[in-house]
A = this chain, B = another copy of it.
Amino acid sequence: MEPVHTELFSHSVQHVLDLVGIFVFAISGALLAVRKNYDVFGMAVLAEVTALGGGLIRDLIIGAVPPAAFTDLGYFLTPLIATTVVFFLHPQVERINTTINVFDAAGLGLFCVAGTTKAYDYGLNLTASATLGLATAVGGGVLRDLLGNEVPSLLRWDRDLYAVPAIVGATVVVVLIKFQALTPATGVLAVLCAFALRLLAMRYHWRAPRAWHRRTTAAEELHL
């Protein structure tokens, strides 16, 4: 099926934004590899998978093969640059962790909006498009944690909200599409919405609730 092209941003602007998102996601992959004591190839694999995995899953599902990750050389090389940086400078990189988290929040915002738009361009319905926007934004991180043999940090209750900002960003996009109001300006608004929400979640340690009775039980245990 020939995709429609919802040109949200000009192609070159979109490309630069994509590369920024890919770079910061790759940094988080390479850093996990260092923490897990992997070698430099393990670092490169985790950097590539974290940065490109979410978009890869989306492209396989919407039938956009070969996926963008395999047709754009810049997408492939950026994680290798991130790997090199972390290889030589990882203590310094760890030290600016807060800065990285801010960029990661920006990547989250960009990817959920770009992912939703691309899925819609390929003819998926609004709910499916938003779901794939979420998958684009968080899929790479889940694959990173699987390859690191860790519980996916996305799913853990003791982490600040990560999925919710992406869900909100993707939802804003599909609402804009529904009311034919998706323009570069409103698209940026959706990105900023997800970005700001993630920053607030980190600042105030917002968490999502766990299943009901577990908390009651915990409280009871305390009273014993």
Contacts and interface: CB of A to CB of B under 8 A. Distances in A.
6 contacts: A39-B210, A42-B156, A45-B154, A71-B128, A90-B212, A90-B213
Which residue of A70, A125, A208 has the most chain B CB atoms within 10 A of its CB atom? A70
Contacts of A39: 155-157, 207-210
Given A34-B211, A39-B208, 20 more contacts: A37-B156, A38-B156, A39-B209, A40-B210, A41-B154, A42-B155, A42-B157, A45-B154, A61-B65, A61-B66, A62-B66, A66-B122, A70-B128, A73-B127, A76-B127, A76-B131, A86-B211, A87-B211, A89-B212, A90-B213
A189 B6 CA distance: 47
Interface in A193-224: 207-214
